[in-house]
Amino acid sequence: MALRITLAGSTGWVGKALVAAIAASDDLVLAGAVSRSAAGQDAGEAAGLSRLGVPISATLEEALREPSDVVIDYTKPDVVKANTLTALAQGRHVVVGTSGLSAEDYTEIDGEAQKAGRGVLAAGNFSITATLLRRFALEAARYVPDVEVIDYASAKKPDTPSGTARELAELLSEARQPATSKPVAELTGVRETRGGALGAKEPVQVHSLRMPSFVLSCEAVFGADNERLVIRHDAGSSAAPYVAGTLLAARRVGSFTGLRRGLDTIMD
Ligand SMILES: NC(=O)C1=CN([C@@H]2O[C@H](COP(=O)(O)OP(=O)(O)OC[C@H]3O[C@@H](n4cnc5c(N)ncnc54)[C@H](O)[C@@H]3O)[C@@H](O)[C@H]2O)C=CC1
Ligand SMILES: O=C(O)C1=N[C@H](C(=O)O)C[C@H](O)C1
């Protein structure tokens, strides 16, 4: 039997690409779709495809009246947490693509997923090459403690930092030794120019730029004595790179209980 997907954010940039990929797959079926702006329309037609016979709901609660196995969320930072908790309460596994959730939000989501006996797979970036950035940066952090993250995105991106940068900084914080740079609290001048510190163990400074011309780029900059390593990912203007990773997550999220973060946690 095909895996039944409820897609929140089905008319968005990523959502439309997911509707097309689900419709083209043999093992997945779109059971429900959510978009406030397109409620009542057919999910296929709203994504620029032929009719799929799946009406778009205005809320996730409404869409979940139709049975499904997995909820995929690509909505907005202020919507995703409530959607995830609703989906878990309704017995669904969840794939979280939407950015903007904090470490505390994820702790709460993990607790609810454990209670519900369901899986949640969240990734700040579902593209394979962005996942490689994360893997290579974590390897570098074993040898070079001084690392900071630069996050570049479009002028319109509503959240800061990006999910990609936030997840990377939190992981680097766990993996690296203390930095040798002067602690921010000891600096004079305008301390905010040193960026925001993220991560519980050895917090990592993150610097976010927002301006026209960027889609989303993320850099891990490692500094050592007289040398420097920069590992950078640049997203292009299509949502295609996120689709394969998101659907892999949908296929695997039912195989574990609780929260996992990052595509690499389910990659072979
Ligand atoms: N993890 C990853 O690999 C990626 C994450 N993202 C993140 O995913 C999120 C969505 O990105 P885009 O597709 O570019 O956004 P978008 O703005 O193009 O689409 C958002 C969708 O959510 C729907 N929506 C908005 N408010 C809603 C509500 N209250 N209830 C139900 N649906 C609602 C809209 O109708 C639209 O269909 C952003 O947070 C973005 O940062 C984007 C690309 C990749
Ligand atoms: O808002 C976006 O567009 C994107 N957001 C994701 C993030 O916050 O990391 C990633 C994606 O590349 C695009």
Here the ipTM equals 0.93
User: Which atom of ligand 2 lies at the shortest distance from residue 164's CA?
Assistant: 9
**Ligand number, closest to the Cα atom of 216:** 2
Say what the pLDDT of residue 267 is. Answer: 85
Residues 6+ apart with CB under 8 A from 108: 81, 85
79 close to ligand 1 (CB < 6 Angstrom): yes
How distant is the alpha carbon of residue 36 from its chain centre?
A: 21
Q: Is 198 in the pocket of ligand 1 (CB under 6 A)?
A: no
Q: Decide whether any atom of ligand 1 lies within 6 Å of the 9 Cβ.
A: yes
Q: What is the pLDDT of residue 268?
A: 72
What distances in angstroms separate CA 204 from CA 79, 200, 231, one per listed residue?
27, 9, 15
CA of 195 to the centre of ligand 2 (A): 19
Displacement of CA 195 from its chain's centroid (Å) = 21
What is the structure's pLDDT at 107?
97
What the block records as the tokens of 128 is 């394979």
Residue nearest to atom 13 of ligand 2 (CA): 216
Q: Which protein residues touch ligand 2 with a CB less than 6 Å away?
A: 99, 124-125, 157, 162-164, 216, 235
Q: At 87, which helix (H) or strand (E)?
A: helix 80-89
Ligand 2 atom closest to Cα of 130? Answer: 12
Kindly give the distance from the C-alpha atom of residue 262 to the centroid of ligand 1, in angstroms, as a whole number. 18
pTM listed for this prediction? 0.93
Q: How far is the CA of 137 from the centre of ligand 2 (A)?
A: 19
Ligand 2 center from residue 99 Cα (angstroms) = 7
Look at residue 92 in the predicted model and tell me its pLDDT: 98
Helix (H, G, I), strand (E, B) or coil at 90: coil
Q: Are 33 and 54 in contact (CB under 8 A)?
A: yes
Q: Rounded to whole angstroms, how far apart are CA atoms 29 and 19? A: 9
Predicted confidence pLDDT, tens digits, the chain (268 residues): 899 999 999 999 999 999 999 999 999 999 999 999 999 999 999 999 999 999 999 999 999 999 999 999 999 999 999 999 999 999 999 999 999 999 999 999 999 999 999 999 999 999 999 999 999 999 999 999 999 999 999 999 999 999 999 999 999 999 999 999 999 999 999 999 999 999 999 999 999 999 999 999 999 999 999 999 999 999 999 999 999 999 999 999 999 999 999 999 998 7
Nearest CA to ligand 1 atom 15: 12
Report yes or no: 166 and 206 within 8 Å, Cβ to Cβ: yes
Tell me the C-alpha distance between 195 and 157, whole Å.
18
Q: Which ligand is nearest to the CA of 41?
A: 1
Q: How far apart are CA 215 and CA 209, in angstroms?
A: 11
pLDDT recorded at residue 69:
98
CB 165 within 8 A of CB 206: yes
Lookup result for tokens 């072979």: 268
Residue 55 DSSP class: B
Measured in degrees and rounded to the nearest 5, phi and psi for residue 32 equal -160, 155
